[in-house]
């Protein structure tokens, strides 16, 4: 089974919707299991990427320091790195905070929000610091392929995986390209 395609997935500043869309391939996941094995992923218990991963699917933009570390780990270990979904491609709706100062965002969430008791901005060292802006992943690492959509449909993900498993250059037919 050593020649199975190894697939790692992660969600950075994502909503897990792209992973749900991935699971929307439904029973086709059984066919996928025949040719692929999951490495680090929210769907497995693997904590870090193995030495050589064939494919890394990254959902979400980059919004904090821990996202940067995870993304770099994926780039280092994955032969092919894929930006999955609008957030990974252009920051997505979380990037709506970009034109607003980070301090204002934190203030609105933790100090001035409705029903907040003992208002304070979380500052434990365990917590990753937010970046001042949300970034698409291609501004941090090199990206090999982009699967657009919010989320990309199961057919987008399936078409891409099928092309890759068959050794074809992945390409999306026009009718599968959507940004919404």
Partner 1 sequence: MTKPTIQIDGKPVTFTEGQTIMEAATAAGFYIPHLCHNPEFEPHGSCKLCTVKVNGRNCSACTFPAADGQEVLNDTAELNALRRTITQLLFVEGNHLCPSCEKSGNCQLQATAYFLGMTDAHFPFFYPRRELDASHPDILLDRDRCIFCALCVRASRDVDGKNVFAIAGRGIDSRLIVNSPSGKLADTPIATTDKATRVCPVGAILIKRHGFEVPIGDRVYDRHTIAEESLEREEPIVEARHG
- Residue 119 in tokens: 């208002």
* Alpha-carbon span 82 to 67, nearest angstrom: 15
Q: Which residues of 10-45 are buried (b: 16+ CB within 10 A; e: fewer)?
A: bbbbbbebbbebbebbeeeeeebeeebbbbbbeeee
Q: How far is the CB of 13 from partner 1 (least distance, A)?
A: 14
Query: What residues make contact with partner 1 under the rule CB under 8 A?
Result: 83, 86, 89-93, 95-96, 98-100, 133, 136, 138-139, 143, 145-148, 150, 172, 174, 177-180
Contacts of 63 (CB under 8 A, 6+ apart): 12, 13, 94, 130, 131, 134, 135
Q: How far is the CB of 4 from partner 1 (least distance, A)?
A: 27
Residue whose CB is less far from partner 1, 6 or 14: 14
Q: How far is the CB of 92 from partner 1 (least distance, A)?
A: 7
Residue whose CB is less far from partner 1, 49 or 81: 81
What is the greatest pairwise CA distance in the chain?
57
Residue whose CB is less far from partner 1, 49 or 148: 148
Residue whose CB is less far from partner 1, 99 or 122: 99
Q: How far is the CB of 34 from partner 1 (least distance, A)?
A: 28
Q: How far is the CB of 152 from partner 1 (least distance, A)?
A: 10
Residue whose CB is less far from partner 1, 57 or 143: 143
- Residue 16 in tokens: 């897990």
> Where in 42-144 does DSSP place strands (E)?
53-59, 62-64, 78-84, 130-135
């Amino acid at each position: 089974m050593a020649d199975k395609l190894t697939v790692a997935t992660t969600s950075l500043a994502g909503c897990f919707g792209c992973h749900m869309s991935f699971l929307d391939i439904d029973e086709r996941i059984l066919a996928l299991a025949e040719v692929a094995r999951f490495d680090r992923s929210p769907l497995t218990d693997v904590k870090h990427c193995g030495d050589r991963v064939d494919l890394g699917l990254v959902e979400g933009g980059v919004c904090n320091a821990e996202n940067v570390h995870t993304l770099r780990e994926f780039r280092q270990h994955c032969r092919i790195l894929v930006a999955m979904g609008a957030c990974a491609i252009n920051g997505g709706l979380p990037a709506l905070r970009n034109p607003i100062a980070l301090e204002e965002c934190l203030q609105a969430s933790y100090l001035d929000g409705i029903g907040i008791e003992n208002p304070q901005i979380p500052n434990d060292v365990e917590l990753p610091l937010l970046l001042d802006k949300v970034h698409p992943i291609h501004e941090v690492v090199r990206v090999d392929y982009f699967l657009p959509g919010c989320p990309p449909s199961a057919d987008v993900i399936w078409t891409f995986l099928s092309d890759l498993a068959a050794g074809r250059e992945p390409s999306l037919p026009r009718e599968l390209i959507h940004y919404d």
